[in-house]
Amino acid sequence: MVHRTQPTPRSCDFLEVMGTSDIEPSSRFLVWLIDDRDTVVVRAAADVSSAVRTARAYCAAWGARVQYIEGPDGRIVDRADWEPSMTGPHPLPYVYTVELRSPRATGRDELVSALWTSTDLDEALRWRDMLPDDLRGRSLVVSNAPDGHYPTAP
């Protein structure tokens, strides 16, 4: 099993596919991945190159593998059109995770749930801002940035 730098949210596919992103449904690509725990995860992208960037980030963060990339027309994009771009010298995008922590009253028994992830920091911050005030105060946006610096709460 791969050491995971980011937890896989278990219920965010609906938010990803139908959420507040700037991607028009008529031009949306879907990246279908299976993580190292055999969980199927779907991520949206605006075009094939964005889909590849998204796939690279999640493959690195979750030990995932890309099953396929679905085009806006519902057809599967030919592997030969995107697979060569999965490797190379390009830096990996960061994965930003919106985390919700249990109340402080739990002390050392604190639990953390990964609510949602994105390779776009602004999008992650928008999702965090959608939480009710009482939960927003217990939520964080964290990243897998190799320098150890994480975005701070606004």
Helix/strand/coil (H, E, C) string of 46-111?
A: CCHHHHHHHHHHHHHHHCCEEEEEECCCCCECCHHHHHHHHCCCCCCCCCEEEEEECCHHHHHHCC
CA dist 99 and 131 (Å) reads 11
The answer to whether 125 touches 112, Cβ cutoff 8 Å, is no
Which pLDDT does position 67 carry in this prediction? Answer: 94
Q: Where are the domains of the chain?
A: 13-86, 96-143
The answer to whether 70 touches 29, Cβ cutoff 8 Å, is yes
Q: Would you write out the chain's pLDDT as a tens digit for each of its 154 residues? A: 344 455 555 545 566 666 556 777 777 898 998 887 787 888 888 899 989 998 998 888 778 899 999 999 999 999 999 999 998 777 788 888 888 888 877 777 778 888 888 888 888 898 899 899 999 999 989 887 765 554 444 3
CA dihedral 18, 31, 123, 116 (to 10 degrees): 80
Which pLDDT does position 19 carry in this prediction? Answer: 56
Which pLDDT does position 6 carry in this prediction? Answer: 55
Which pLDDT does position 9 carry in this prediction? Answer: 57
Which pLDDT does position 62 carry in this prediction? Answer: 78
